Every structure is written in structure tokens, then in C-alpha cells.
A and B are shown apart, each in its own frame.
Chain A
Amino acid sequence: MKKLKELESCLQQVDGFEEPKILLEQYPTSPHIAGCMLYTIHNTFDDIQNKLVADLGCGCGVLSIGAAVLDAGLCVGFDIDEDALDIFKGNVEDFELSNIDMVQCDVCSIGSSYAKKFDTVIMNPPFGTKHNQELRYDLPASYKFHKKKSVDIQVDFIRFTPT
């Protein structure tokens, strides 16, 4: 998959939340944003292909699907919500991907012990507007996205690397 457009149109096939849960601050990551982000991570930083990738707060899995399509060695999605993971599983079957795995857990309490084993961590998580939790991770190359809710949707793409 060489072109961003191909990746985006591929990601448009990913099913999103049927009934987003407000308390979990669920919202879908648009195929455009997901595509741009993954494309950059892949082409500029070479952090997807053949890498072990974690998707924290994966929801219905659009980022994981994208990473898998870009030939991640394995992408593991983590989310607290069973309904979202069911949709994610449906997506994995539709796309016939075998380099994806998923775990149901509370990413705030799993600690950074296993995140450290991953080459790359991607996330577009809830920002704590409901529970004001801080997400702190001591991680390898990690990508965090903040979507500012305004008329012009801007996304900050932040890349952390270990020092």
C-alpha cells in the first residue's frame, strides 16, 4: 500500500461504534486522520512494518487495522469496552487480517511494564474530559493524538521517543 489515498479508502471500510458510550468518551477516529497518522509513522519513521505495535484505547480498531494493513509484525489492541472489541473483531474478520490480537483491560491500570516491550505504541485515547484521568506512560516510540474540537478540526501529532 504505497499511497495515502489507498490507505484512507481502505480504512473507510472499518466499522465504527454503533452506540458510542459517552462516559467512556468513545468517538471514531476518522479514516482521514487515521490514514495520515499511520502513513506518517510508517513512511517517515518506519515504525510500523515488521514492528510490534500496541494500540492503547483501540476502540473499534481503525488504527490497528491500518497498522496491520501496513504490515506490522503484530498489532495488539487494548480497550476496556467489550462492545467495541466485538466490532473490532468483526473488522479483523472482514479484512482477513491475522497479524492482530486484542486484550480487554483498563489501560490506566495495566502499567507500563508490558508497553515497554512494544516497538511502537499508538493511541487516540479519551482525553479525560469525563474523568480527568492523566495517562502517563514511560514508553518506547509513542504517538499520541489530540483532537481539538472546533470548526476547523486540527490534530496534533506528537511523537515521543525514549531519551
Chain B
Amino acid sequence: MKLLTHNMLTSHVKGVTKGYPLIIKATEVKVNELEFNAQFVSRMIPKLEWSALIQAAEWLGQSQDLPSALIPDYENDEEFLRKVHRILLEVEVIEGCLQCPESGREFPISKGVPNMLLNEGE
């Protein structure tokens, strides 16, 4: 599971009003190279919940020196974009779970795939 994907996932447990962001508890993390594309990264940034991304990076011990708030004119800062590229697309959670911040319900991540399926009645 890449952090770009994680940034979009929410908990849909019944009754939960704020199931975001899902807390990452990782037991295995990998970093896989992906070709850097400044234009793509730059376009993804406005779609992100930036604070959730920073939190996710922290949970994985990968926050390095990502700023806690977006810098202005980031589109032209290649160094910054490369850092974002790495955290969004190259860092992957292979094993662990995602926890709903409100209900505590855990969604397992196995072989890189989070399982968001709920049981009947949840």
C-alpha cells in the first residue's frame, strides 16, 4: 500500500463520523523505486490531505524533512517534489494494519493490500 492510496482511504464502520486518517501500524515496509515525474507529483499535491500525509510518514519513520505545511511555489522546487514523490509512491506498507481512529477497528494489510471489507452489521 502506497501512501498516495492511504491518503484517500477512510473507515466506513457504521456510526463513525471521522474515520480519517487511518492510523498505520506497519510491521513490514519496503521502498521500491518508481520513475520520478515532477508534473504528476505536482498535480497530486492539491488532491492530498497534507497533514494526513505527514502523519502517515511519521508513523512509518519516513518523515525525513518534509514540511508540516505546504511551501508556496512547490511546483518549481524539484528537491521538494522528489521528497514528496518518494513518500507518496516509493514507500510501501507490505504487512501491518490500518486502524480506524474513531472505532479502533483494525483493517489488516497483507502482501501490500489493505483489506477494507467490513463484516455484516459493522
Contacts and interface: CB of A to CB of B under 8 A. Distances in A.
Given A52-B44, A73-B40, A89-B111, A98 B117 contact: no
A80 B33 CA distance: 28
Contacts of A76: 5
Interface string B1-33: 110110011101000000000000000000011
A121 B20 CA distance: 22
A103 B12 contact: no
A109 B12 contact: yes
A50 interface: yes
A77 to B, nearest CB: 9
A110 B116 contact: yes
Contacts of A89: 111-113
Contacts of A30: none
B117 A104 contact: yes
B115 interface: yes
A113 B10 contact: yes
A74 B12 contact: no
B116 A74 contact: no
Nearest to B12: A109
A89 B1 CA distance: 12
Contact of B117 (A74, A86, A106, A113): A106
Contacts of A105: 115-117
Contacts of A74: 2, 4-5, 40, 89
B20 to A, nearest CB: 9
Interface of B: 1-2, 4-5, 8-10, 12, 32-34, 37, 39-40, 43-44, 47, 89, 111-118
